[in-house]
Amino acid sequence: MLAILGISAPLLWGQLLIGLINGLFYAMMSLGVAIIFGLLRIGNFVHGAQYMLGAYGAWTLASLPTLFPGLGLPALGYWWALVLVPPAVAAIGALTERLFIRRVYDLEHAYGLLLTVGLAMVIEGAFNLRFSAAGQQYGVPPSLQGGVDAGFMFIPLYRLWVIVAALAVCVATWYMIERTRLGANLRAATENPDLVRAFGIRVPRMLMLTYGFGVGLAGLTGVMAAPIYQVGPYMGQSIIITIFAVVVIGGMGSIFGAIAAGILMGVLEGLTKVFWAEASSTVIFVAMALVLVVRPRGLFGKDTVSHAGTDLASARPGSILENLRLWLLVLAVGGAALPLVIYPVFAMKILCFALLACAYNLVFGYGGLLAFGHAAFFGAAAYVAAHAAAAWGLGPELAILSGVAMSAVIGALFGWLAIRRQGLYFAMITLALAQIVYFYAIQAPWTHGEDGIQSVPRGRLLGLFDLGDERSMYFFVLAVFLACFAFLARIVRSPFGQVLKAVRENERRAISLGYPTDRFKLIAFTLSATFAGVAGGLKAIVFQIASLADLHFMTSADALLMTLIGGVGTLLGPLVGAAVVVTMQREFAGLGAWVVVIQGAAFVLCVLFLRKGVIGTLEDWLARRAERRAGRGRP
């Protein structure tokens, strides 16, 4: 059979071995994510960076004489790394929990996700500054060199060791969480901390140790992976999104599900490399989509409860900052004068990303849906609009509409798959689904891979106005932004928008009143994707390029950051947040690798100290000022 398909038996067995090893690494990483989410309700996006810390820890111990030549330190090999590095990474994780993670336990899932994204960026950026993006080699330990001839294939001894050790770690972790008194105490502490505290158990310390243990698993995985993969600052970035998909497949918070799904997905990925190599990078995400159709909670999952979103609803309907007519006039007049103050291209970038943030605010700020895949809608529209203009010769208006149509279709499909889940689960699903679009763009011939679609013609609007002129292009972008801004504001103030807010605040009550909540959320999600597509199509025409950066998950993170900085659920918040983020990116562009560290620090500071955003904080100040005036006016 294999001969008919043109596949050799050694190739098949070799890929199965690689798939099994990858699957066990996925299982160990997923275990850490599942433990931290299941017990602490935190989506630990920094888990990939902590995996990288484990690999760099092993490499550092082996390179001590080179890194510190004057101290006479001996090189410590692989076995020392296995003993020393995971506890060290776990200790760093425990300190991280104590200083940062603990502050967001009682907040909406978005804050925990954004905080850990920021911490990951700071850690990875710092390592990039110290070691550069080039990877480091870490050799197989001498005691595990060579291999075993199994007859059907030659198995390297180190890989055989990894299989046995990883399986033992997975089984031991499952047993500890599910079958011991310690595991029972951990589960009880997350479900009813007051009751557990009454029995004399120190819950904060227990949660800190739990987070440290989950991080320690990531560090252990990094040490075991170092001799197989190249050690680099961003090695965790490539695996963390796959881990989220694996956790979704297994079932959020399910320890056994994380292990089973990790191994199954690794083997599936290996088999796909044999029969259809181009699909190997997306097969896990496709499998996730199929599982969600049949079983939305995952193969072994259970329902999870979202945190209340009270911190997200910062808009005050009576505030002057929510007066749509006033601010439309201000934005129109100010926007018309803006090219006199700043460079038009920079102003257009602010407007494009402000529209993306407004679109995101519709689904997150008013719908309460923590999405993390808007880069797919933004980037897909950019690629389609660029291709339509460059290859098909369509005018700018038709090219943008083509991109918008594509983003609407993708948004409806993604929404249909994900809408039955909430909170962090919903965020992970949308992030993983967005990766399908990203990997498709890497491989599709018409997207030109890493080069993207360049030299996109701006054309003539309606055949009359030459958009090659910067000012003509700017006023077209301004007109589109104002129209979309007004339309989104009208949606929020419509009866549909009021029901959407009711669903966000208390979905069960909305259901009891007879509203089909899933339908409302799906419509809102599709509308949000559509307007994100308008932003992406405009961006492709303005900058005359569509690239993989448009589809990268950091574009989704930027949309979330802009919304939070400006003020979630406010009229002007996304615009203010976009202006801040885009300006920050421009001003810090000359700092090279420091940009990632600075932007990550901005994520962290925003979560810790500016949760209501600029507009939300200003609204609170205006409200308190009005109350004080009213109090002084009373007899």
- Please give the Cα distance from 156 to 173 (Å, whole number): 26
Cβ pair 613, 314 in contact under 8 A: yes
| Residue partners of 220: CB distance under 8 A and separation at least 6 | 28, 54, 82, 85, 86, 89, 169
- How far is C-alpha 596 from the geometric centre of its chain's CA atoms? 15
Instruction: State residue 148 phi and psi, 5-degree precision.
Output: -120, 130
| Confidence (pLDDT) at 305 | 45
Closest to 551 measured CA to CA, from 415, 396, 406, 434:
434
Closest to 134 measured CA to CA, from 12, 11, 233:
233
Give 316 or 501, the one with higher predicted confidence.
Answer: 501
pLDDT band at residue 306 using 50, 70 and 90 as cut-offs: very low
| Residue partners of 623: CB distance under 8 A and separation at least 6 | 316, 319
pLDDT digits (tens, 9 = 90+) for 222-237: 999 999 988 999 999 8
DSSP notation for 145-205: -SEEE-SSSEEEHHHHHHHHHHHHHHHHHHHHHHHSHHHHHHHHHHH-HHHHHHTT--HHH
pLDDT digits (tens, 9 = 90+) for 398-457: 999 999 999 999 999 999 988 877 777 888 889 889 999 999 999 899 999 889 999 999
Residue ranges per structural domain of the chain: 27-67+74-294, 316-553
Average pLDDT in the chain: 87
| Confidence (pLDDT) at 193 | 59
pLDDT band at residue 602 using 50, 70 and 90 as cut-offs: confident
Task: Flag whether pLDDT at 186 surpasses 90.
Answer: no
pLDDT digits (tens, 9 = 90+) for 577-587: 999 999 988 88
- Please give the Cα distance from 315 to 574 (Å, whole number): 12
pLDDT digits (tens, 9 = 90+) for 489-512: 999 999 999 999 888 888 888 888
Task: Flag whether pLDDT at 8 surpasses 70.
Answer: no
Task: Flag whether pLDDT at 2 surpasses 50.
Answer: no
Helix (H, G, I), strand (E, B) or coil at 293: helix
pLDDT digits (tens, 9 = 90+) for 14-36: 888 888 999 999 999 998 888 88
| Confidence (pLDDT) at 314 | 54
Looking at residue 27, what DSSP letter applies? Answer: H
pLDDT band at residue 191 using 50, 70 and 90 as cut-offs: low
pTM value is: 0.88
Residue carrying structure tokens 């993006």:
133
Indicate the burial class of 617 (C-beta count within 10 angstroms; 0-12, 13-18, 19 or more). Answer: middle
Percent of the chain with pLDDT over 70: 92
| Residue partners of 444: CB distance under 8 A and separation at least 6 | none
